A and B are shown apart, each in its own frame.
Chain A
Amino acid sequence: MQDNAHILQDQVQQAITEQQPLSIRGGNSKAFYGFTVQENVLDTTGHSGIIEYEPTELVLRARAGTPLSEIEALLEQHQQMLGCEPPYFSPTATLGGVVAAGLSGPSRPYRASIQDTVLGCTILNGQAQILGFGGKVMKNVAGYDVSRLMAGSMGCLGIILDVTLKVIPSSKAEKTFVFSIEPEQSLAFINDLRKRGLPLSASCHLSGQLMVRFSAGIKEIAGLENRLTEHYSFIDWIESDDQAFWDNLREHKLPFFDQASTLWRLSLPADADISALADNPEDVLTEWGGCLHWLKTTKPAGEIFKHAAANNGQATLFRYPLKEPPVSIFQPLEPPLAQWHKTLKAAFDPLSIFNPGKMYAKTE
């Protein structure tokens, strides 16, 4: 546990003086995500430690280099959790990397996203200034919301030094059920479950089966089977004892996520149809009540981006064979929005020191 903020500040100051861009690295768990930045590495892992944790406030503040595992272990001791269930992709994952990557896990539609979880942060901007935004209270509308802007910014606007997070009570009980149901019927079924007040906390559709996780109090979970029988006797379903399924889904350790395939991540409205993009139905895994699709395909990027845009969503090339560096990874932006990305980048990092080209060609 160490406060290295001023060491990092000196490193940024030196980079500014030398006009030497930096590749920001935490636990290096998500190096595959986004374009590779071939610059001097600035390692944040030394800037580590939980600064403040108030279980009754539902607030935790930690330095960027703090391992996610350390944070989750502490929360677990107090029957609390991060609502966004962020993926690790390696045991070395750090809080700073989790926030910068902006990826949320299976519970995202029902509990929170990573940006919903951020209450405040301290950053180093491209002028080597240490700046604090947001705070440790749930409601805070003083100034622009820079803290949540940092979630998913891929280190392109500044170095995250520490983050204050909203945490939530863990559910006292959980159970997973597997329903035999086709993808086109899943959405109506999930909506029906929710309207009946059943406590969904995750869903995953793959190969004709819909896995649904329910999280709530002990009595409610104990009574779930009776309620399902009462309402859904016409659907084949079984109770699953595979509690590791959701961790494996989050960490891409299910057999579906074979590392050899090119993997796309499509974030779309829940009623969007992506069957036209899939060569066969087994190449699609759908989470988030129909809002997130993982797609294995070799179709051209342009076709996938076009399909995502036509459905008012977005696509990301999540993993790709290293020998074929792609032209685009993230959904292309419309010109005014692309322009805002450039001007905002310049407002935070005028010399383009941080992660140049990590998201879009040299504009971020």
Chain B
Amino acid sequence: MADPIIREALVSALRKILDAQFILSTQEQLKPFECDGLSVYKALPMVAVLPGSVGEVQEIVRLCHRLKVPLVTRGAGTGLSAGAKPDPDGLLLVMTRLSNILDINSATQTARLQPGVRNLAISEAVKQHGLFYAPDPSSQIACSIGGNIAENAGGVHCLKYGLTVHNVLQVSGFTMAGDPITIGNGGLDNAGLNLLPLIIGSEGMLMVVTEITVKLLPLPNQVEVILAAFDSIEKAGQAVSNIIAQGVIPGGLEMMDNNAIRAAEDDAQAGYPRDAAAILLIEIDGSPVNVSEQLQSTHKVLQDSGVSSVKIAKTDAEKALFWKGRKSAFPAVGRLSPDYYCMDGTIPRKSLAEVLGYIHTLSEQYGFPVANVFHAGDGNLHPLILFDANQPGQLESVEAMGAKILEKCIEVGGTITGEHGVGLEKIRQMPLQFSDEEINQFHGIKAALDPDNLLNPGKNIPLLKHCQEYRALAKNLRPNQLLIQHEATA
């Protein structure tokens, strides 16, 4: 529990900075902010504030620095790794009121944004200029660009158009001391060290971001969506590699297995074949001539890869329907079972079939169905392990199974997290991917930019003293903490 004296001192000082209605300090007021999209990690912050101006943010940051109060920045709260879980002894800085699109420049094809602007709102606002913002996480209707910066958000289209880190030119905000700082500029190169990639994906641990300049892209002239069905997961996985190998980079390349297909079809009636072992959704975009060439070559590759059936969406409505099935897959799978456990490993594409086969074997061995929904083009897996947490022993078994999947991802040359971030959720897997020296270098970076360790402390990078313990636990297949997601959004 937060020290009431410190809380009172903090609230009293905050009242001089912003209107009392934007300072939340009672249990009832704080309850909605106790967690992000990963609700098993909860804590009430000492106080939460909703600043309405950049000046207020600066004063709040300075106050926290002066009082040595930990500061956790929160965007829309859609994160899936507990990166925005409040610190019980800290202040939660909620950026949702800073939601203005400051400028859209159609000549430079850039937009200047406050951190609370929703991801989808960017593309909606710039559509009139024939432009769009490429990174599109599944939670894009709700998630904010500030949170996208914190997590280096990806999405369906990042295979072709890159992640957040590839689509941001400049971020401005404050160091933990409250000094204004700007990283990047309006051009395409940094001055000095290339710090944008360090800040993007740093999970709010290095600075507080109050303004972002993003790159925009011209909307493609033509978009086609292919629905390809396969009678085995291995064939579908091989088809993914074959498509890339022939030199086509689709706008999107997504895969679902039979459990996910049936769940999505029940939910969205997207026209998916219920009996297929796997489907691929392939989006080809570009100029009409290019799209036509790539459609033909992709069709041939699918035939050569043993596809069972191929449908090309004929109308915009059908294209939207194909995608609706994919986008509703998570909540649809959620209805199959009381609980599910969501993973976010990434693997080399060539290992897709192997890892999917491995997950299938584990599923039979442990007796838990698995629905696979993922960004196949990037090798970013989201296996959903279905279980019932109310049944004694199930949770422990699911934890062990999940650990095996993540270890397999590392074994084949992948990573424990492709786009959800480490946060608190995967902090115990970090020592499986990194050595003590590497983790120590991460701590060195943190200390260089936030010497008092006040920004989002305890997330992302495990303490060295825990690393050996986590590695030992992993060997005994009991490394994972509870991960239950009821309403996952990505």
Which of A's residues lie within 8 Å of B, judged by CB?
54-59, 79, 102, 108-109, 112-113, 115-116, 125, 129-133, 135-149, 151-153, 156-157, 168-170, 172, 187-188, 191, 194-199, 216-220, 223, 266-272, 288, 291-292, 311-314, 316, 330-331, 333-337, 340-341, 343-344, 346-348, 359-360, 364
Contacts and interface: CB of A to CB of B under 8 A. Distances in A.
A145 B197 contact: yes
Given A139-B418, A220-B290, A144 B188 contact: no
Contacts of A340: 175, 181, 195, 448-449
Interface of B: 105-110, 130, 151-152, 154, 158-159, 162-163, 165-166, 170, 175, 179-183, 185-195, 197-198, 200-202, 206, 218, 220-222, 241-242, 244-245, 247-249, 286-290, 292-294, 346-350, 375, 378-380, 413-422, 426, 430, 433-435, 437-439, 441-442, 444-449, 451, 460-461
A359 B108 contact: no
A53 to B, nearest CB: 12
A237 B196 CA distance: 39
Contact of A143 (B180, B189, B461): B461
Contact of B185 (A54, A55, A187, A314): A314
Contact of A137 (B415, B430, B442): B415
Contacts of A135: 413-415
A292 B188 CA distance: 8
Contacts of A220: 287, 289-290, 293
B437 A131 contact: yes
Nearest to A113: B188
B346 A140 contact: yes
A347 B185 contact: no
7 contacts: A137-B378, A139-B346, A156-B193, A312-B185, A313-B185, A347-B441, A359-B193
A144 B442 contact: yes
A344 B442 contact: no
Nearest to B346: A137
Contacts of B441: 125, 129, 131, 146, 347-348
B180 to A, nearest CB: 7
A139 B163 contact: yes
Nearest to B154: A139
Contacts of B378: 137-139
Given A142-B422, A197-B287, A331 B191 contact: yes
Contacts, number: 273
A141 B220 CA distance: 28
B418 A337 contact: no
Given A136-B348, A139-B418, A291-B187, A270 B197 contact: no
Given A135-B413, A220-B287, A270-B107, A140 B418 contact: yes
A142 B415 contact: yes
Nearest to A333: B192
A358 to B, nearest CB: 11
Residue from A55, A116, A172, A269 with most neighbouring chain B CB atoms (10 Å) = A269
A143 B422 contact: yes
Contacts of B426: 142
Nearest to B421: A141
Contact of B183 (A136, A337, A359): A337
A41 B441 CA distance: 25
Contacts of A56: 241-242, 244-245, 349-350
A104 to B, nearest CB: 8
A94 to B, nearest CB: 19
Contacts of A147: 197
A239 B223 CA distance: 29
A316 B110 CA distance: 23
Contacts of A187: 107
Contacts of B189: 102, 113, 152, 267, 292, 314
- Cβ-closest 8 pairs across A and B: A269-B186, A148-B197, A169-B247, A267-B187, A347-B444, A139-B418, A197-B287, A343-B448
Residue from B289, B420, B446 with most neighbouring chain A CB atoms (10 Å) = B289
A272 B108 CA distance: 9
A198 B290 CA distance: 10
Residue from B106, B418, B433, B448 with most neighbouring chain A CB atoms (10 Å) = B448
Residue from A168, A196, A347 with most neighbouring chain B CB atoms (10 Å) = A347
Given A57-B348, A149-B197, A188-B107, A291 B188 contact: yes
Given A149-B197, A311-B186, A271 B191 contact: no
B15 to A, nearest CB: 28
B380 A139 contact: yes
Contacts of B191: 314, 316, 330-331, 333
B448 A346 contact: yes
Contact of B187 (A54, A141, A216, A292): A292
Residue from B163, B187, B375 with most neighbouring chain A CB atoms (10 Å) = B187
Contact of A141 (B181, B201, B288): B201
Residue from B430, B438, B441, B461 with most neighbouring chain A CB atoms (10 Å) = B441
A339 B426 CA distance: 32
B225 to A, nearest CB: 18
A168 B202 contact: no
Contacts of A313: 185-187
Contacts of B159: 138
Contacts of A360: 192
A216 B292 CA distance: 13
Contacts of A129: 437, 441
A172 B289 CA distance: 14
Nearest to B293: A217
Contacts of B422: 141-143
Contacts of A199: 286-287, 290
B75 to A, nearest CB: 16
A199 B249 CA distance: 14
B447 to A, nearest CB: 7
A219 B179 CA distance: 54
B221 A197 contact: yes
Contacts of A172: 247
Contacts of A331: 191-192
B445 A144 contact: yes
Nearest to B153: A141
B161 to A, nearest CB: 11
Given A116-B165, A344-B448, 11 more contacts: A125-B441, A131-B435, A137-B380, A140-B346, A197-B288, A288-B188, A291-B188, A340-B175, A340-B448, A346-B448, A364-B192
